[in-house]
Chain A
């Protein structure tokens, strides 16, 4: 009985992130448009885009291999699995012990590894430029992420997201310097990992500075739909991650009473909305940076993460 209940909750989580991901992106776009005094596309536009793309034929480049056709499914699967293990409305998910935070970061790394390969598969210069820049960004963002994980793990005494989130919600955590540093670094990493402004611009298609869009330039139809969905899922994953670690309020811990769960879901959606507004505000007020400024940006994130870890190693009170 408990197993069925937990399975249901895990299933709700998987479906919830999948359903909310396009809505969240639509919401951010809408807010950004309103900030620019445009009306913007309807909130549900990403869903329409998905359906439209899925129903279209795939136009595959002549030089594309079988790997190119498999990669969208791989990337989607890796991102979805990662996203369904981050607590959103309830901690202690049934399968939460199957991958800790290091493994979740590495799962996203797998997705990126395959996407970078897809950029090289057709053999065009745009794909190559995207892959090579993505590899550079990842080479700094991933260690920064691991350093953040170290800091949080040392504070919570666990790399298990459920335990970490529960610890962060408890009064034992208090205000800490290392936590503040980790939060700043995590936001910086999240911006880079999701190809957002100022690292990359998700709305552009004909700009020499694009990274993510250059990699997936040759994709079309259902393949493109999956890749887009995966990138939206990844955005939701990062917002949920920041929410469950740094704003763990309203997350139901172990109970399964329906009102509590509904409250958890409502709190989660509210957190997403706040995160989306903040992101839109940030993105409209800043310009995209040159590609070779990115290492400085991510280097700063890495150093912040390292500093936070070092503080934790030096003393438990930071």
Chain B
């Protein structure tokens, strides 16, 4: 029943895409399509929520489309229902945001038709129940999002971003194709139910894990496969950036969880070593990259890489515990990862909406040209602040809860027998703690330079509050961030069916705990109560304010800034994004990015200004991608002369290839 609602939603979304193509010239098109998208995704969200919360049995459906002997298998179980909630919540708020935001679009005909199609693609991925449907929807999702990335195709940077995205997306799909091929085996059992029943051999399962890590990881943004992400996510219009960063990366996480936890059979303990290592590096590299940026949207995109790392740390721990039969701890780690999936989709969408609102009114993405927006966009500034606090994992908001649960899972890991894990997990814990602290620094910078201080340019000075739809969309997400922060027990309980399905055990029900606190293991061991912390902070802050205003003084006068007696009227004397990051760049950047600062001082009688140049190297790009691209180019050059053979030589070549392939086949079987 709920599956039919979701599928009906997909059909309507596809119809909307066609409708948008037909009415591109109409001025009402964008508003109408976005409103319709919002209604459809809201209905689908309700269906997914009711499936998840009532813990129904899985619903299955086979449609007679697709491959004739296979059909399209679709299924809604707890895992796909949860990810459907993430997709639809993001899609609904993005559509609401876009009702207002889309008005400012210069070429809506390049966006509006692809937007519903992109939503339909993501929904189908999480509903697919056979390899063919999954890969087809996956590729459909990639292509529609690619079209959205290059919607502003006159900017050369965006075209390059689109090209790299297309390359990486095809590469990722290829890896997934091979993974499914291995799972399907020689009999071609493409339905997930058949894969689940066939237990693959250990070597095959290991290959599947590595291929899935490459395929889903490249879409999610695991280092070093993240290279496309910070280029492509900011290039798209902001509501699409929010969807790509907040939701599409989660669809990739879904792909990983579905294949590795559900289809690939029993995990070996060393799988988690691979995942944890990659995830740990991803977490710290992502936030360090983000700290070096001064383009607001690119900073947010790099920060997505960090959060994907946190999610994969949780997943890696869950696999480690599961492989050792510590099912209870595995359920805790998996719940932490999934809760972070949900939380990140909330605050990353919120932050991208905020960046979009800033971009619309000022035309600027570069933080060095912004500043002081809190005075001119107070409501946007307030909700953006909530997003910043939440993403920095600070109590009492939601980002803290999922990181806290991950820490609790790490604290259970000394009981893991393998020595590799015993040595690796504390290091991963340190990396996670380091990235949490760096994330806070990163968002002090993002918020402080963009919204606080004095306006650095004319466009920042004349900014105005964004439209009503956009603000409501952001407020919805900000309230959800607060709600998930102060009542985390409700959300943890909602995730219980997933861990019972994937692991066989789930965390204890939280709703009965004293004062709505969360108690992952036992109260004497650890507990956290977001509601009480929030209440205490509110009450003591308000009490202090009230008492001081009543008993001491409530007078206030305005004066020029003090600045140790030497205030400078020039706004350029403020700290900029680059100068804010300087101490951290010196501490971490000299090693990771080979950061060099060169100061050019004019000689004493010269009136030229002094200049400071900062030089950063991207290690991943320079050590992996550039050599790879050079090699491929060189090989392609060598192979070029194969195009200029005579017909005789071509025929010989074809014959030889055929013989070699037949030989290989003969040896294989």
Contact = CB atoms under 8 A, between A and B. Distances in A.
Contacts of A226: 544, 548
B575 A143 contact: no
B437 A122 contact: no
A162 to B, nearest CB: 9
Contacts of A147: 426, 429-430, 433
A129 interface: yes
A119 to B, nearest CB: 8
B437 A143 contact: yes
A221 B540 contact: no
B237 to A, nearest CB: 29
B560 A62 contact: yes
B587 A73 contact: no
A24 interface: no
A192 interface: no
A81 B555 contact: no
A218 B561 contact: yes
Interface size class for chain A? 35 or more
| B interface secondary structure, majority | helix
A107 interface: yes
Nearest to A230: B544
Contacts of A140: 437, 587
Given A99-B395, A163-B524, A124 B563 contact: yes
A305 B525 CA distance: 21
A80 interface: yes
B100 interface: no
Contact of B448 (A73, A116, A133, A159): A116
A309 B582 contact: no
B66 interface: no
Interface string B577-597: 001111110110000000000
A142 B395 contact: no
A97 B525 CA distance: 9
A309 B444 contact: no
Interface string A83-112: 000000000000101111011001101101
Interface stretch (B5-13, B80-88, B527-535, B636-644): B527-535
A133 B392 CA distance: 18
Interface string B407-446: 1101101100000001101110110011011101101110
Nearest to A312: B414
Given A76-B541, A100-B528, A123-B574, A138 B564 contact: no
A135 B441 contact: yes
A100 B434 CA distance: 19
A57 B438 contact: no
Nearest to B553: A55
A158 B394 contact: no
A252 interface: no
Interface string A113-139: 100110111111111110111011011
Interface in B434-483: 434, 436-438, 440-441, 443-445, 447-449, 452-454
A6 B564 CA distance: 48
B404 A103 contact: yes
Interface in A142-173: 142-143, 145-147, 150, 153-154, 157-160, 163
Interface stretch (B178-186, B323-331, B370-378): B370-378
A51 B551 CA distance: 11
B549 to A, nearest CB: 8
Interface in B32-72: none
Which among B426, B454, B540 has the greatest number of chain A C-beta atoms within 10 A?
B426
A306 interface: yes
A120 B587 contact: no
A138 B444 CA distance: 12
B579 A100 contact: no
Contacts of B133: none
Given A102-B404, A131-B580, A136 B587 contact: yes
Given A136-B441, A158-B526, A106 B561 contact: no
A158 B523 CA distance: 9
Contacts of B392: 109, 113
B525 A107 contact: no
A83 B580 CA distance: 30
B548 A138 contact: no
B664 interface: no
Given A60-B557, A128-B579, A120 B528 contact: no
B288 to A, nearest CB: 10
B434 A60 contact: no
Contact of B414 (A63, A123, A129, A154): A154
B409 to A, nearest CB: 12
A116 B436 CA distance: 16
A187 interface: no
Contacts of B393: 106
A212 interface: no
Interface size class for chain B? 35 or more
A221 B553 contact: yes
Given A81-B540, A123-B454, A222 B553 contact: yes
A159 B426 contact: no
Interface string A35-77: 0000000000000000100111111111101110000011011
Contacts of A81: 533, 536-537, 540
B221 to A, nearest CB: 22
A57 B440 contact: no
B447 A117 contact: yes
A106 B453 contact: no
A62 B559 contact: yes
Nearest to A302: B430
Interface in B501-529: 514-515, 517, 523-529
Contacts of A56: 553
Nearest to B538: A77
B561 A123 contact: yes
Which among A100, A135, A150 has the greatest number of chain B C-beta atoms within 10 A?
A135
B541 A74 contact: yes
B523 A128 contact: no
Nearest to A214: B564
A300 interface: no
B558 A67 contact: no
B324 to A, nearest CB: 15
Interface in A177-233: 205-206, 217-218, 220-222, 225-226
A310 interface: yes
Contact of A117 (B433, B452, B532, B537): B452
Given A78-B537, A138-B437, A310 B426 contact: yes
A275 interface: no
A100 B527 contact: yes
B540 A122 contact: no
12 contacts: A55-B552, A65-B452, A73-B545, A106-B400, A125-B574, A146-B407, A159-B526, A160-B524, A206-B564, A306-B427, A313-B414, A314-B422
Given A67-B452, A133-B583, 6 more contacts: A62-B560, A97-B529, A100-B528, A145-B433, A147-B426, A163-B524
Those 7 A-B pairs whose CB atoms lie nearest each other, nearest first: A128-B575, A120-B448, A77-B541, A123-B453, A136-B583, A146-B433, A142-B437
Interface of B: 371-372, 374-375, 378, 381, 385, 389, 392-395, 400, 404, 407-408, 410-411, 413-414, 422-423, 425-427, 429-430, 433-434, 436-438, 440-441, 443-445, 447-449, 452-454, 514-515, 517, 523-529, 532-533, 536-538, 540-542, 544-545, 548, 552-553, 555-564, 567-568, 571, 573-575, 579-584, 586-587
